[in-house]
């Protein structure tokens, strides 16, 4: 019994959606996400531009990359951040070496900032 092309397309689309949701849930529950979330909330440069941070969410369409080499990890994520004055997009990269996370680069709306 063969399936119609329309059924195959629907199956492929459903698989893609499930894969995307699974990766997103995995990213949001990772220790790297939690580290970057807290770092963004505490960063003085973010607070001076946006006001007190009210929300940090992983962007639906932004970058999410993760790389592992042995026990070391590199991570890049795009966040939609809202403060009590305005919102912005923050792209942050971090690495985990020897069990500790460190921000390697970050930008707010494309302009480099320090999250430290």
Q: State yes or no: pLDDT of 37 exceeds 90.
A: yes
Q: Tell me the DSSP string of 57-92.
A: EE-SSS-EEEEEETTEEEEEEEEEEEESS-EEEEEE
**Cα 64 from Cα 19, distance rounded (Å):** 14
Cβ–Cβ < 8 Å for 5, 57: no
96 has a pLDDT exceeding 60: yes
> What span, in angstroms and rounded, lies between the C-alpha atoms of 85 and 106?
20
> Residue 98 — pLDDT band, cuts 50, 70, 90?
confident
Burial class (CB in 10 A: 0-12, 13-18, 19+), 52: exposed
- Domains of the chain (ranges; CATH) run 31-112 (3.10.450)
Q: What is the distance between the alpha carbons of residues 67 and 104, in angstroms, rounded to a whole number?
A: 14
Q: How far apart are CA 99 and CA 25, in angstroms?
A: 22
Q: Which two tokens stand for residue 38?
A: 């807290």
CA distance 12 to 30: 27
Instruction: Quote the pLDDT of residue 25.
Output: 65
pLDDT, residue 58, reads 87
Higher pLDDT pick, 38 / 20: 38
The model's pTM is 0.78
């Amino acid at each position: 019994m063969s399936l119609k092309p329309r059924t195959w397309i629907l199956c492929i689309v459903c698989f893609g959606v499930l894969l995307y949701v699974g990766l997103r849930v995995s990213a949001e529950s990772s220790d790297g996400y939690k580290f970057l979330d807290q770092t963004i909330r505490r960063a003085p440069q973010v607070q001076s531009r946006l006001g007190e941070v009210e929300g940090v969410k992983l962007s639906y369409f932004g970058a999410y990359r993760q790389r592992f080499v042995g026990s070391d990890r590199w991570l890049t994520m795009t966040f939609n951040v809202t403060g009590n004055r305005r919102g912005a997009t923050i792209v942050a990269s971090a690495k985990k070496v020897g069990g500790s996370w460190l921000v390697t680069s970050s930008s707010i709306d494309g302009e480099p900032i320090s999250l430290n």
